[in-house]
Structure formats: C-alpha cells, structure tokens
Amino acid sequence: MTQSAALASPALGKDEQIEIAAASDLEGLTMRLAKARGVEEILRVVRGGARRLVGADGISFVLREGDKCFYADEDAIGPLWKGQRFPLERCISGWAMLHGEAVVVEDVYADERIPHASYRPTFVQSLVMVPVHADDPVAAIGAYWARPHKPSDESVEMLKRIANSAAVAMTNVALFSSLNAAREEAVRAKDALILAMAALADTRDNETGDHIRRTQHYVRALAEAARRHGLYQPQLDTELIELMYKSAPLHDIGKVGISDAILRKPGRLDAEEFAIMRTHARLGRDAIANAERYFGGTTSFLTIAKEMAYSHHERWDGTGYPEGLIGDAIPLCGRIMAIADVYDALVSDRVYKAAIPHAEAVRVIASERGRHFDPALVDVFLEIAPVFQEINSQFSNPA
C-alpha cells in the first residue's frame, strides 16, 4: 500500500495517519538535507520543515563557534535570537553541546541553566534542545513552545531524528568542502608545474614567461570569439576553451630537447638546423605521452596539450610539419595556437629578428588566410585584432 493510499484508508486511525504523514515529511526533509552542499542550505532545509514536524511554536539552529553559540537561523511565531552570539556556558544550547545530550525544559523560568534575561523578551515558556552530532557537537537545534508544558516524547524523538540528519548533512558538507579544497589545491599545483615547465623551455629559447601568458590569453580570446560566431559547434564549448587555455603553455615544451646552439643562434637557421628545430613538435608530444603512460591513462588536459604541441606548426594548405596535415585534419587546438604563436612571434623581438608593429602583423596573418591559417579563424582574428594588441601590451616586459 502506498503512503497516499494508507492515509486515505478508513482502517487507520487519526493518530496512525498523522504518524505516517510525519514519517513521509521526515523522509523528505532527510533527503533534502542529504543533498545539501553548504551550511546555508542545511539551515534553509531545517527552517523550512522542522517546526511543523516537531509541532513547536519555534525552531532555532545554533552553530558552535569556538566558545560561542551562534544562533544562525530560526522559524518562530515571534523573534528569538537570530544573529546573536552567547558564551557556551551561559546558554542552554551550549549546555547541550558541551554535554552531548538532549535537554527538555518544561518551564524555562524554573531552570537555572536558562539565561532568564535573554528569554523574557521572547514567547518561550518551554523547550527542547538537541545537539547535532552528539559525539562531537558542532551545532544544536532548539524547539520552543509558548506555554509551560512537558514536550511529548514524539516531539523530542522527532527533533533528535532531524538533528541526526543534520549531523550527517554537516559531515557531508565538511567532506565535500575538503575534497573541493584538495581539488583546487591540486589544480593550482598542476598549473604552477605547467608554467614552470613551459618557462624552462622559453628561458632556453631567449624568451620570457610573458610569452607563455600572452599565448594563453590569445588562445582563449580567439577561441571564445570563434564560439560566439557559432564556429566548430558543439566541439568548441566552455570546457574545451578552458583546456586549451591551460594547455597553451606546453605548446613548445619540446624545445627543452633542442640544443642551445640552435635555440640561441643569433640568426636564421640553416637547413640542417631547421630540420632539428622542427623535431620539437614531436619531442613535445612524446614528453606528454610519457606523462600519460606514467599516470596510467590519459586525461582531457593531456590530450589537448599533446595535440597542441604536435600540431601547432601544421599549415592549412598541408605544407606544415610534422605530418603535413591539411585543413580540418589539423586539430582545432593546433589551428588556434598557430595564429596565436605566429602573431606573438611577429610582434616580439627574437634573437634573429626585430619585432614588427601590430598593424603589420595583422596584415601578415590576413595574407596567410587559407594558406598557413584556417580561413574562418583568420576572419575572427581580424575582428578581434585589437584584443590581441591589448593582451600583448598587458603582458610585455618594458625592459
């Protein structure tokens, strides 16, 4: 028999119907607490359902803050103490938390544990206070009535069940927050390692960390603009753009495997030297592939980083390297990085050439539309070229 059918059954007495309804409501409240991902959400769930379930005139949720009780939230027929803090040893919620046990007070003015002066402005005449997480209380939930009486065993038991569900929810929230913090710390560590590795390659190539930051931001600006134009959907989504942004610093990581005699040569490379320089795309891909094998599998980040390192010197017309890929066969991340990398090379001083002005660099890229670069991406680049110029200015060392 379903709960709705049970409630409608004439065979059940009124008390049984009330009990079934309360159990259903408690189950719903417990499920909502289990889904909570923050303390504020826990407070909201308790405030929204506990008072009716307990049959009280008021409910308060009290958080333990060191040696203080913080009355964080309430639902009542009149004001209680929301937003106020009291010493643990001077309030009944503190007593419940310090002793780890429920308190039933039939007459608040006959109990010496109650701070009577704080209660006189309120409607409260009797109460139940239950700790949340009795073994190590982090909070307490109070139920209040406007008349002196002994709260029923059912009300006390219901409040304990709500407190137990709140305890589980707060443990889940603490674990969820801890996992998020650990994940964020891991992301920061990964980002720092990526930048350190990329900076090593750039330092050997007589470039600076500014080049890393510029190409990152060029890639994101171009990808976001392409997405706004509806290009390469649904592939080019927010997740891919973020992965390309994070992967961009590794696009030239293979240069670590190129000798200083070639990397630092103050002039153009001869054919043999250029052939060696071209191997940095393969070296970069292989280094990242080795990382995949070390970790026992790939990730979206490593896949994009590998593709970008290996394909950003391919050309739309098939005359690039290392594979001579043509058109859409070139991974999208490589096509986007190709424009970002060439633009930065054009407007930056290198050991073998001087920088050229932004406007001239834009003309060079426009002239390579459909030859070196993806024509659709060149059209987007021409539209947002001022953004590239702004990024270049923002991340350029004046020295």
Specify whether 267 is located in the same domain as 390: yes
Question: Do residue 326 and residue 380 come from a single domain?
Answer: yes
Helix (H) or strand (E) holding 179: helix 153-204
Together in a domain, 126 and 218: no
**Are residues 125 and 227 part of one domain?**
no
The count of domains in the chain is: 2
Task: Identify the domain containing residue 340 by its residue range.
Answer: 205-394
- Asked if the structure places residue 183 within a domain, the reply is no
Q: Residues 129, 77: one domain?
A: yes
In a domain, 333, yes or no: yes
The three-point CA angle 108-52-63 to 5° equals 60
Mean pLDDT of the chain: 84
pLDDT at 316: 98
**CATH number for position 329:** 1.10.3210.10
- What single-letter DSSP state applies at residue 353? B
Distance CA 76, CA 67 (A): 26
* Residues 307-364: tens digit of each pLDDT: 999 999 999 999 999 999 999 999 999 999 999 999 999 999 887 788 999 999 999 9
Residues 215 and 151 in one domain: no
- 47 near 59, Cβ under 8 Å? yes
Kindly list the distances between the CA atom of residue 257 and the CA atoms of 264, 284, 310, in Å, as whole numbers in the listed order. Answer: 13, 8, 14
Q: What's the pLDDT at 189?
A: 58
Token pair of 171 as six digits: 């443990």
Strand partners, 104: 128
- Is residue 184 assigned to a domain? no
Distance of CA 155 to the CA centre of its chain: 40
Residues 159, 238 within the same domain: no
Q: Are residues 320 and 259 in the same domain?
A: yes
Could you give the C-alpha distances from 236 to 239, 244, 254, 316, 329, in angstroms and in order? 8, 10, 26, 19, 16
CATH number at residue 117: 3.30.450.40
Is the residue at 191 inside a domain? no
Pair 157, 237 in one domain:
no
Q: What are phi and psi for residue 334, nearest 5 degrees?
A: -70, -35
Q: How far apart are CA 226 and CA 337, in angstroms?
A: 13
Residue 197 maps to a domain: no
Q: E-strand spans in 39-197?
A: 58-65, 68-76, 85-87, 103-105, 126-132, 139-145
Rg of the chain, C-alpha, whole Å: 33
pTM: 0.56
Residues 154 and 220 reside in one and the same domain? no
For residue 119, give both structure tokens: 């209660």
Residue 12 within a domain:
yes
pLDDT at 199: 58
Quickly list DSSP for 185-229.
HHHHHHHHHHHHHHHHHHHHTT--HHHHHHHHHHHHHHHHHHHHT
Using an 8 Å Cβ cutoff, are 325 and 239 in contact?
no
Integer CA distances (angstroms), 252 to 121, 218, 307, 314, 380, in order: 71, 15, 12, 14, 24
From CA 367, how far away is CA 390, in angstroms rounded? 22
The segments of the chain whose pLDDT lies below 50 read 1-23, 206, 399
Q: Are residues 170 and 210 in the same domain?
A: no
Asked whether residue 266 is assigned to any structural domain, the reply reads yes
Contact between 289 and 299 under an 8 Å Cβ cutoff? The reply is no
Residue 194 · residue 250 · CB < 8 Å: yes
pLDDT in tens, 177-233: 766 666 666 666 566 556 556 655 555 554 555 888 899 999 999 999 999 999 999
